[in-house]
Structure 1
């Protein structure tokens, strides 16, 4: 068949059309299929419209009990997805109850009929072999031969209906041939891919494959050259044949365009026939592909034959065993089926194991689902052999005393360094400006400075300076607002300058005037000459 290229992705219109398939795969598919059968069973349902009450009555006759509201919801769903449409016919009601019951009527759409026909075909399909309609090859050749006897003069005198019948018959036979060939090779692929064919199945399949498939390939090989040559003689007449076949009385669509007719009555349908028997466009014919697939099937059959011959003394498939086991399950009572399951697969009922929780303060509740509960740490011996006993000597307890002593020593050294820094800071009596501090004392000063600002809301105010105690001493840091002044500190990491701030250290409870006098000896030692 001719293959037409499709753009990548799905157009929005195509996605809307595919919505019509949803009813066959959702949770209420049984109900939807039963409702659609009320509209598609026989030809009488195609031109009729039905209300929800009528559909409910017919469903109850088929053994499906649904209330009117549920059926109304199902019908609205089918309308939404394009399978049904609301009927424009007015409802005749003798009472308000009749009007409420029959106010909405539904009818089948063209898309809904096509989709449900495919659904019914799929539901009725069986996984069995179907013969190839090879007898259609002779009919196709005869039909093309009849058409090839025409010339342009005889085409103009031919009956349009008879000509359309001859063309439609050729393409109906061609469509049946292609469809049956696809079904046969799909079944063939399903069987050849099985690795567990036993000897009896192989013998039956070999006979069918070797005999039947070879006859079909011979039929295709015999008719293919004749059909290709006959098509070549008909090809120049195809436009004239289609034009004459369409010259009779035609059905017009609602928009005035000519309705679509059967396959073959348009010149665009003929290349698919030519491609199947003669190829074209740089591709081989589908008839040649049929013969190549037959050769591949023969090779697969020989591969299965070699496998069966080489595995005469050993197991080569569990298909028969599994089918036999499934039969036992089908005929067993519930208790026997559970025992058979445990024996065949070794899957015994689950056992809840108890372990000490990793976090005794937050244990997992026994009602917690296993899906959301944290994974339990199962000991290796229990996981592998199911034994809880511990084998071998227990490992020696690790001695962490040395590490603990080292951490305690580090902590004591850190505390001594901090105490020395705080003592250095407390020794700065009076105004702090132009002094040099160690790095540790500078860090402690910034910590006290931050605590002082936090207590006062961020900055000193007109009500008074801000103060904060220096830890491990009887002194405190005082911060005063001093516009235009700067307090400068020096240290190993650089120069620190406080703008519009006056910093001083005084004893707790000491007045600010007492601490603003002459600097102490420690202050004189730490002051840097020339600093501003």
Structure 2
């Protein structure tokens, strides 16, 4: 049920695997071959008889050809397999009867529509047929909702227990169908309204027509909401205590069950969990106003936006759109031949073919002539006002470009000092060759030693067993770490005291290690 009145829920941090798999069913409508995929899906959804039928690749190819799209048999097979892989179609379990090998090869696989595929293609067709036009709000549904809720409110416990389940379910579903129509039409109306209100290409005549229609229609819409909302809210509060009993009675009788044994989902309103959306729209809740009151506030905001547009047109402000001009220009291009289009392009945008004429610059302070090609000339200093606003008025000299030479030299010097400190730390560690026991180091040397120790263990890739050795080298020195029960190394520095138990650390030159390995 797509009603926007349920309380806000915290969205999940990310889509689950099942949700990502479901979204794969939309891919066929957005790829490069979407035309052929949509044509194939229409053969399964175009007629009501196709919902329970299965088709082979050859039958699909024949029906697609009737739509004006010629596809080879192998291509149709590939397209159908793709749709099966993404959940839009399923392979039919029905066995194929063939009178010849050729007929068997053509009809060996049959395909049928899935529930997910039908749902997705219904949305695709609705989107393809959608037009960016105005749609009125279904305010006539307010009276129907009030009458339906009033009839339900008149039922007491005994009347509910004796009511016919089918009639009771029909009355409840009718109320929610009218409610969903009201909510969806309200959404569409305000979406269209927001698109129009932000446009700056409306001239005075268009604005006058739109203003009159909008003011009159919004006033009628707000009046309808104001007249029905208190009555519906009062009746709804009378109905809500009996909602569980109404749903239980409406669901009495034999119910459809799925292949997994679960009861099939029924229409909106026959589950008590559907009713809070109705309450939120007409009454509201703790800490939030009703959605009907929000709709009235939106009407006020639309009036305010309308006044902003009116002020812009009346004062001739700077902010304006060239939307209509560009549409007119695009129409001229569409109707022009090549020569006329080139001439129109040059006249509209001033972009003529390249002509580079070189001559000596008159200004000694600017040695680059203005006619030089920008491919071979240095970067020009563009004034800030011209860069940001396009204004050509000269308001002063262009700002000098930033010189990062000092910052670059400072970073290079900082890097050199860091390398010197590391070299001094390595030399200090190298002054203790052999197996390390208790040694005293500076903080820089201690940091380098611990870095070597960490790199040795990471390079080993697994915990050290007794007798295993891990090594890491920097510059001319190498550190060996060996698991040795009872051994230990203690490093004392101004930053503190570090003790390593059951580990033997040895420092030796890299050349010595190579000779020892050789």
Q: TM-score range by the shorter chain?
A: 0.5 to 0.7
Shift of 1:137: 0.5
**What does 1:230-309 align with in structure 2 at a 5 Å threshold?**
230-309=235-314
1:152 partnered with 2:157: yes
Q: Using a 3 Å threshold, how does the CA distance of structure 1 residues 316 and 164 change in structure 2: closer, same or farther?
A: same
CA 65–225 in structure 1, closer or farther in 2 if over 3 Å, else same: same
- 1:174, 1:289 → 2: CA distance? 16
Contact 1:24–1:32 (8 Å) recurs in 2: yes
Offset from partner CA, 1:67-93 (integer Å, 9 cap, x none): 010111011111000000000000110
**What is the deviation of 1:387?**
7.5
Query: Quick one: distance in 2 between partners of 1:153 and 1:183?
Result: 42
Q: How do 1:51-450 residues align onto structure 2 when only pairs under 5 Å count? A: 51-311=56-316, 316-349=320-353, 384-386=370-372
For residues 439-492 of structure 1, give each alpha carbon's deviation from its aligned partner in whole angstroms, at most 9, with x where no partner exists. xxxxxxxxxxxxxxxxxxxxxxxxxxxxxxxxxxxxxxxxxxxxxxxxxxxxxx
SS of 2:111's partner is strand
Against the structure 1 CA distance between its residues 159 and 340, is the aligned structure 2 distance closer, same or farther, given a 3 Å change threshold? Answer: same
Per the TM alignment, residue 353 of structure 1 is displaced from its structure 2 partner at its CA by: 11
- Please give the secondary structure, in 2, of the residue aligned with 1:106: strand
Q: Matched residues in 1 for 2:123 and 2:369: separation?
A: 52
Cα distance in 2 for residues equivalent to 1:105 and 1:31: 18
Q: Give the Cα–Cα distance (whole angstroms) in 2 for the partners of residues 383 and 68 of structure 1.
A: 65
Distance in 2 (alpha carbons) for counterparts of 1:320 and 1:216: 30
Q: Larger deviation: 212-221 or 181-190?
A: 212-221
What 5-or-longer segments of structure 2 have no aligned partner?
1-5, 359-365, 375-518
Structure 1 residues 503-514: aligned runs within 5 Å? none
Q: 1:321 to 1:386 in 2, by over 3 A?
A: farther
Q: 1:89 to 1:344 in 2, by over 3 A?
A: same
**Secondary structure at 1:347 match in 2:** coil
Is the partner of 2:48 in helix, strand or coil?
Answer: coil
CA distance in structure 1 between the partners assigned to 2:174 and 2:369 by the alignment: 71
**What is the deviation of 1:217?**
1.1
CA displacement 1:353-387 (0-9 Å, x = unmatched) = 99xxxxxxxxxxxxxxxxxxxxxxxxx87784457
**Cα distance, 1:153–1:309 mapped onto 2, change above 3 Å:** same
C-alpha contact (below 8 Å) 1:83/1:109 kept by paired residues: yes
Unaligned runs of 5+ in 1: 355-379, 389-532
Give 2:495's aligned residue: none
2:50 alignment partner, SS class: coil
Q: Report if the CA contact (8 A) 1:87-1:107 is conserved.
A: yes
Give the CA RMSD over aligned residues: 2.1
Q: 1:52-106 CA deviation, whole Å, 9 max, x = no partner?
A: 1011111111110110101110111110000000000001100000010011111
- In structure 2, the CA distance between the partners of 1:286 and 1:230, relative to structure 1 (3 Å rule), is same
Quickly say closer, same or farther: Cα 1:165–1:343, change in 2 above 3 A: same
Indicate whether 1:31 and 2:36 are aligned. Answer: yes
> Number of paired residues?
363
Q: 1:349 to 1:116 in 2, by over 3 A?
A: farther
User: CA distance change for structure 1 residues 28 and 269 in 2, over 3 Å: closer, same or farther?
Assistant: same
CA drift of 1:4 comes to: 3.1
User: Secondary structure, in 3 states, of the residue corresponding to 1:92?
Assistant: coil
- The alignment partner of 2:340 has SS state of helix
SS, match of residue 320 in structure 1 = helix
C-alpha distance in structure 2 between counterparts of 1:137 and 1:88, whole Å: 48
In structure 2, relative to structure 1, the CA distance for the partners of 1:60 and 1:145 (3 Å cut) is same
Q: Distance in 1 between matches of 2:106 and 2:357?
A: 60
Contact 2:356–2:371 (CA under 8 A) maintained in structure 1: no
Q: TM-score, normalised by structure 1?
A: 0.66
CA distance in 2, matches of 1:57, 1:132: 43
Tell me if the contact between 2:357 and 2:372 (Cα under 8 Å) persists in the aligned partners.
no
Deviation digits for residues 193-241 of structure 1 (CA, Å, limit 9, x no counterpart): 1122111221111012100011111111111111110000000000000
Shift of 1:350: 5.8
Deviations 1:474-517 (A, max 9, x none): xxxxxxxxxxxxxxxxxxxxxxxxxxxxxxxxxxxxxxxxxxxx
Among candidates 10, 15, 19, match of residue 5 of structure 1: 10
Give the Cα–Cα distance (whole angstroms) in 2 for the partners of residues 387 and 148 of structure 1. 83
**TM-score, normalised relative to structure 2:** 0.67
CA distance in 2, matches of 1:303, 1:351: 47
